[in-house]
Amino acid sequence: MAHVNPSIFQSALERRLRDELLAGEDTQRALRHVDRVPGRFGAVARQRQLLSNAFKLTRPVAPRVLDALAACKELLGHEGPVDVFIHPEPMIRAAAVYAPPDTPAIVLSSRLLEVFQEAELRFILGHELGHLAFEHFTLPLPAMALASDWDEESGRLVSPATALGLYRWNRAAEASADRAGLLCARELEASASVLLARVSGWTAGSVKSELQAAERHVDALLSDPSARQRRSEDEEALGGFRAHAFSPWRVRALVAFSKTRTFLRSAGRYASEEGLSDEEADTLLAWELRELDPSYLGKSEHPELLQLALTTGKLLPVLEQLYQERAALSERARLVQHFTLLKAPDGVVDNLGYLELKQIAGALTVPSWLVDEALRGASNPLD
């Protein structure tokens, strides 16, 4: 079996975003804080949650699973041991766990193992291996966004821009893990079916029409780069704000990678110089994640108003200004999404806070599901 260097399939955009975050002083301060209180949140809490009542799989018990894992490890070039656990539950779930010095692990629900076919199983194992191979737990969310030192006036240790940057990187990290999954599965339709099953629990749904729509969208953006500059005022334009596994942007990113020479070569479908370059696929991914770019905080005509809103929650001046200037739908949606992420970095908010967020969405005349999607993304940062 051909060996693939992890740097080939990891998104260059993800690596750049991660490096930029790690270079930040507030990021390093938050990481030191998380390390000092490991039992409060982060890897230890995640490990306890996922491994409680789980059973470690062995080759005599689950040869199909461990053989698929071994094949994925070889293909992706992932070295070192990885344990696999099964958790008894009726939901389709999977997660990677890494809490040094313990062995990295992948946790699969019993329902998943009952219903997934071979290619689907390879995708989910490859996806979770991707999280481990790319060391996505180096920037633990939501722990870093929640990190705070109440002896300081600022409260949370990372700035609003850094917090938003963390969630943007997190999305890019999921795209990288999806690439790893597709390399292992080698079947685009089976891979997309897994994304649908993870968010819905439904394994009989057809993803063909969604894949066809995604392919048309990718082809249009590649053939006419100016299309990336056009703004749309309909709700379909807000697909990039979805946070679940079968989000339109995530399906399109998977389709784009399936067209790359990197994937075609690995899947044995490569001929001559056909296919996209990795740079083209990353350009499209950056476009998909543009609404999470925190740089708008400094580029806005009213940066002080946005900073005030996102750090103190005083939104009235911003709402009035956006209303007067007839801001685009995507701009208003972005503010709702970002305010939700900063108000509830872990997706946890009481009923009054939830209603407040819904009211803000209404005041900005954007769909209220934006609040729910932002909370979903914050509560499940790595799927």
φ, ψ for residue 365 (rounded to 5)?
50, 50
Helix (H, G, I), strand (E, B), or coil: what is residue 319?
helix
What average pLDDT does the segment 170-185 reach? 96
What pLDDT shows up at residue 153?
Answer: 47
Of residues 305 and 172, more confidence is placed in 172
Cα separations in angstroms, 253 against 287, 291, 314: 10, 15, 36
CA geometry: angle at 288 spanning 332 and 311, to 5°?
40
pLDDT at 369 over 80: yes
What pLDDT shows up at residue 229?
Answer: 66
d(CA 75, CA 81): 15
Of residues 359 and 23, more confidence is placed in 23
What pLDDT shows up at residue 33?
Answer: 87
What pLDDT shows up at residue 334?
Answer: 86
Q: 144: Cβ–Cβ under 8 A, 6 or more apart, which residues?
A: 27, 30, 31, 34, 158, 166
Of residues 26 and 101, more confidence is placed in 26
pLDDT-based confidence at 173, cuts 50/70/90?
Answer: very high
pLDDT-based confidence at 109, cuts 50/70/90?
Answer: very high
pLDDT-based confidence at 306, cuts 50/70/90?
Answer: low
What pLDDT shows up at residue 204?
Answer: 86
Maximum alpha-carbon separation in the chain: 67
Cβ burial, residue 24 (10 Å; 0-12/13-18/19+): middle
Closest C-alpha to 360, from 332, 341, 379: 332
Evaluate whether 94 touches 198 at the Cβ level (below 8 Å): yes
Least confident residue range of 103-112, 210-219, 290-299: 290-299
pLDDT at 114 over 60: yes
pLDDT at 370 over 90: yes
Cα(first)–Cα(last) distance of the chain, in Å?
A: 28
What pLDDT shows up at residue 296?
Answer: 67
The mean pLDDT value of the chain amounts to: 86
Most confident of 4-13, 91-100, 125-134, 299-308: 125-134
Least confident residue range of 13-22, 45-54, 252-261: 45-54
pLDDT-based confidence at 118, cuts 50/70/90?
Answer: very high
d(CA 157, CA 282): 30
pLDDT in tens, 321-343: 655 456 778 888 888 898 899 88
d(CA 208, CA 141): 33
What average pLDDT does the segment 83-97 reach? 94
Rounded percentage of the chain residues whose pLDDT exceeds 90? 55
What pLDDT shows up at residue 300?
Answer: 57
What pLDDT shows up at residue 4?
Answer: 57
What pLDDT shows up at residue 234?
Answer: 59
pLDDT at 6 over 80: no
pLDDT in tens, 215-265: 999 999 988 877 666 655 555 678 888 999 999 999 999 999 999 999 998
Residue ranges of alpha helices (H) inside 104-202 are: 110-115, 118-133, 143-146, 160-185, 188-200
pLDDT-based confidence at 1, cuts 50/70/90?
Answer: very low
**Strands (DSSP E) along 46-130, which ranges?**
55-56, 83-87, 94-97, 105-109
> DSSP readout, 240-309?
GG--STT-HHHHHHHHHHHTBHHHHHHTT---TT-SB-HHHHHHHHHHHTGGG-TTHHHHSS-HHHHHHH
d(CA 251, CA 214): 7
What is the number of residues in the chain?
A: 383
What average pLDDT does the segment 115-130 reach? 97
What average pLDDT does the segment 117-134 reach? 96
pLDDT in tens, 133-159: 999 999 998 889 988 865 444 478 998
